[in-house]
């Protein structure tokens, strides 16, 4: 799977503490190897975020993304649950 990063994702990622950055990188690696990994709790979003998906990095940290095609995703945002939703 090919992963692209939106500039807003890069900005949000840079603001995360180092420990969360490392966990995010690890979660993205898991996602690229198996997008259906149950540990990530991948789910589609509703309402104003319809068409986007998210997965969990920690109990509070989420990565929001969208599929660009079957083999490519665009990471849109990362941060606390209340920040990204």
In the chain, where are the structural domains located?
2-80
Torsions phi, psi for 8 (to 5 deg): -65, -35
pTM: predicted TM-score of the whole model, two decimal places: 0.95
pLDDT, tens only, 41-64:
999 999 999 999 999 999 999 999
Q: What pLDDT, on a 0 to 100 scale, did the predictor assign at position 60?
A: 96
Q: Are 62 and 41 in contact (CB under 8 A)?
A: no
pLDDT of residue 81: 92
CA distance to 11, 37, 70, 73, per residue, from 17 (Å):
13, 25, 32, 24
- Residue 67: predicted pLDDT: 96
- Domain 2-80 in CATH 3.30.2310.20? The answer is yes
Task: Please answer whether residues 32 and 3 qualify as being in contact, where contact means their C-beta atoms are separated by less than 8 angstroms.
Answer: yes
Instruction: Give pLDDT, residue 74.
Output: 98
Task: Give me the pLDDT at residue 37, please.
Answer: 96
User: Mean pLDDT across the stretch 18-33?
Assistant: 97
């Amino acid at each position: 799977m090919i992963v692209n990063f939106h500039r807003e994702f890069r900005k949000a990622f840079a603001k995360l503490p180092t420990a969360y950055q490392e966990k995010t990188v690890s979660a993205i690696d898991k996602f690229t190897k198996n997008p259906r990994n149950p540990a990530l709790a991948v789910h589609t979003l509703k309402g104003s975020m319809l068409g986007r998906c998210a997965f969990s990095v920690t109990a509070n940290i989420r990565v929001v993304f969208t599929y660009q095609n079957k083999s490519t995703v665009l990471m849109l945002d990362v941060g606390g649950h209340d920040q990204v939703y």
